[in-house]
Structure 1
Amino acid sequence: MPLALLALAVVAFGIGTTEFVSMGLLPQIADGVGVSVPQAGNLVSAYALGVVVGAPLLTGLGAKIPHKRLLLLLAGLFVVGNVASAVAPGFGTLFAARVLAGLPHGALFGVGAVVASRLVAPERAARAVSTMFLGLTVANIVGVPAGTALGQQFGWRSAYLAVAVIGLVALASLARLVPHQPRAEGAGIRHELKAMGNRHIAIGLATAVVGFGGCFAVYSYLVPMLTEVTGMASSSTTLVLALYGVGMTLGTLLAGPMTDRALRPTLYGGLAVMAVVLFAFYFAVQHTVTALVCVLLIGAMGSFITTPVQMLLMAKAEQAPTMAAASNHSAFNLANAGGAWLGGLVISAGWGWASPALVGASLAAVGLGLAVVGGVMDGGRGPKERGERSTVVAGAGADAGSAPGVGAQVAEAERAG
């Protein structure tokens, strides 16, 4: 495994920690800046807003900047955003700081995914991308609980400062380990936007928004579902969320090699299993053991489909995959907001605390339908989608001045498809 993938995983670890650590510190933050807990909850939305806006904006502005330099600039902005969060004197400035911290999120993942896919042979591209995503899943097991405990013990500002330190470590790792990857001649925002302007990208992003919305419809209300329906003690919910993170890690580990072997079947299977598990959770949540098994599986399937969606979008964007890869993370955050909103609607309508599971199953099923529509639009491409992966790595030759032998590998992969 190239050491550069470790640097990218550290970036993902920092992003995952800062994205979710606020949720566990809302009471402390509310007290610290003099607002109510629901008002403090808007800080989570502020970060998501930064992701949705920043992914296409910063990727477009950096379209001519070599990938390594762009990664360093984005990581620097990530550090600044978290330091600003730690020193914000009031709620308004903290809200703005969380938007700032979220701005580089999608672009970092997008550029990082393209860089990761170009560090390895074509047949291992998805495994490389999933290795980077492991940093995000480990953050849910280690980073978020540790950051929450730190913030509760030493004040919420210490959690953001700790994330800033992680960002500095990531910055140093990127500078030391990631190789130079110059942009292709003629690269620019028009080139990226032109690559985005096809129906395959649109259907892929729609699949991400709707399919992932199913996962977030349940995740957003997981704690009250387990305490109100399952009857678990609130003190045990931290361990349950860690279990969800373990599931995410397992799903990411499985997704890489399976996506390399068969991209679309992996995507179809992940969405189908997610729909079934979410539907089963509506009944399983009544009992502790079955509820915990489903929590593990929901976490696994949520992260499992991340890699094939990411690789599919990068492939369909052909020679300019960075904007598509970054926009995928805008789609994830729209899914987060939409899934949480729909889950809240059915709870408010009196359908019960378990009802978001039915919403989630429905959204996952619709996401599967959209994915199948995308496959039909391809006109019967081969099940392994090798030609698509080759297109992504072929871009590496154009952008990075690939070493002798890479072109032959790409051609061989295309013939195999």
Structure 2
Amino acid sequence: MARRVGIVGAAVTPFKGKWYEKTYYELAQMATREAVKDAAISIKDVDAAFYGIYNDIFERTCIPEHPLHGIIGMQNKPGIRISCGGATGAYTTSAAHAYLAGERFKTALVLGVEKATDCFDFLSMSATPEVIKAIGWSGDSFFEQKLGWSASDSYAEVVLGYMDEHPGDLKPEITAQISSQLSKQARTNPYAQRQFDQVTPEEVVNSRYIVYPFKELEICVYTEGAAALILAEEETAKAIAKNSGKAIVWITGVGEANEHSFAGKNQKDMSRIMSDYLASHRAYDMAGIMDPVKAIQVVELHDAFVHQLEITAAEFGLVPLGRADSLIEEGIMLPGGRLLVNPCGGLIYCGHAVGASNIMSAWSARKELIERNLKTAVVHGTGSTIAQYTACQILEHE
């Protein structure tokens, strides 16, 4: 029988649009140091490292994890790097969980770091063209890249497919209210990139289109930062918690799924994010959750785009498909509602440092479970072209 695995330490750096004064090495060191400190252990007590780093071009090296290993104190120990687009952080946590549950290690560091805007275009004197180009390399090299593929239009394909299937859902006034609510939640997160960018629904509606139907204030921005977790198998976790005096948050369910996607031979149902549905229900099965509506209180969903957050909530069974707008219309995610959705501000307002984003979400979910004395959370990451990859974890606070 697989061993139980818990989170015994967690930390994030401030998320910023640009860390002028720090390299990605230093951001990784910052997050690692604080996570180890949070667990009240030494880096010498950590058996293995699992690195979530999405884009080699961002870090300007094809093996960005190799210089990190020694400078964070993990020399001569195992280290594995995971890259799965926007789902990188969640997949990295799943990988570490599997090794610990399978009795390979007793403790593990899960470390995500990204330095996106070190890319720079000297013709425009801006990072934006190079960042878009670097992300564009994630698309199919034979077809999608040649057509000018970008993350925004890729996700828009799925959203428009959903809107065709459910024409009364994802109404502009609702997506605007969700963005506004997320901005208010970021106000209490001192690590958020846009902590003080509170916006009204009217400002969201009146912001410019990036790619239809996404408005400027409904999408994430480029982010630099790092996040880290310390995971431990059950007996070690209990010993660490006894020493640190901090509660253990157990990972009771994990689930992953990757859909088929190939230009010209696409088998994906464009009105669904089936990877979200499959991964979440695999995690529910593992955690013994029969009814997620009754079981889950905290939700940290990957929200690079507000519309995608709504679809994901429906695929996760938290609201009905075709009625994702009930998140606002029925007050589900509003103050006093039954779900705490992206309390950190989500990727749109806390920031999307891709490899670190879902690890930051796990940090946030753990924090809310402990501070509010709640029981169950779900953490989610999605990525690749047309929301093809998903990984998620169920967290439980006893």
The TM-score, its normalising length taken from structure 1, stands at 0.25
TM-score when normalising by structure 2: 0.26
Q: Which has the larger radius of gyration?
A: 1
